[in-house]
Amino acid sequence: MAAPAEGRGRDGRAPQRALQDYPRTRQTRRAEKERRPVGQPNEIYDKYLTRAISEINDLTGEMLRCRLCSHSRTMPVIGSGHPLADIMLLKYRAQPSELHEGVSFFGRAGTAVMKSCQRLGIDPLQLYGTNVLKCGSVRDEAKAEARCLEYVRREIAIVEPKIIVAMGEKVVAALNRLELPAAHVVEYDVGEIHELTPATDVLVTPDIDASLDEQRLKAGFWRAFRRLGEWYEAIPPY
């Protein structure tokens, strides 16, 4: 899908997108227009987008220079998707396919999310996905999380999502440890939408990576995730 580059890969070029490799449709083009601030020239939106891409690239550079997990044989896994998305998908840990490509939601989780969003009528340009822990080989999870939470905090500040899909109990706990300004404590209530801050809600779902190998768990994740469709439908188109 033709979409803005959201970060740099290992070779300094834009990475393969895990959440946006789908054909552009009339609905997609309409969504692109609707995301622009109402009553303002398109150039203003383009400036917001350019700034967001630049800030994501700067953050990616800092992550790649981090030496906390220098023992790891893989590079840090960067975010995937639109840098001004309304919906942020947040998992706890990257899976082997993500570590191999260096991109969040590359592989089974990304495919499952895209199929779910297609069923719910959610445009891919509304999505940005990332992990709490950015590296695969973590020796001290608590120490690594403390460092990585700062990256997540900055991702939230750059993207400014209207809703975060917290995938799993450990993600909910990590969000609470972020201590964002004016944030409320979020409970692990699967399928429920809570207010995280005055500007951002949270939808709690099971861990998607742990839900893909058994039909019962797949059904449980889908029951929770489809609440996102209800939320999306209720967003005013202006």
d(CA 177, CA 60): 22
What pLDDT, on a 0 to 100 scale, did the predictor assign at position 87?
A: 98
> Any bridge partners for residue 202, and if so which?
164, 194
pLDDT tens-digit series, residues 203-224: 999 999 999 999 999 999 999 9
Higher pLDDT, 5 or 124: 124
Helices 227-234 and 108-120: crossing angle in degrees, nearest 10, is 50
**CATH number of the domain to which 104 belongs:** 3.40.470.10
- How many domains are there within the chain? 1
What pLDDT, on a 0 to 100 scale, did the predictor assign at position 92?
A: 96
Asked if the structure places residue 18 within a domain, the reply is: no
Asked if the structure places residue 9 within a domain, the reply is: no
Q: Domain range spanning residue 30?
A: 26-234
Q: What is the mean pLDDT of residues 58-79?
A: 84
Three-state secondary structure call for residue 7: coil
What pLDDT, on a 0 to 100 scale, did the predictor assign at position 24?
A: 42
Asked if the structure places residue 5 within a domain, the reply is: no
Among 58-67, 79-88, 116-125, 191-200, the range scoring the smallest mean pLDDT is 58-67
d(CA 94, CA 122): 24
What pLDDT, on a 0 to 100 scale, did the predictor assign at position 90?
A: 98
d(CA 192, CA 215): 21
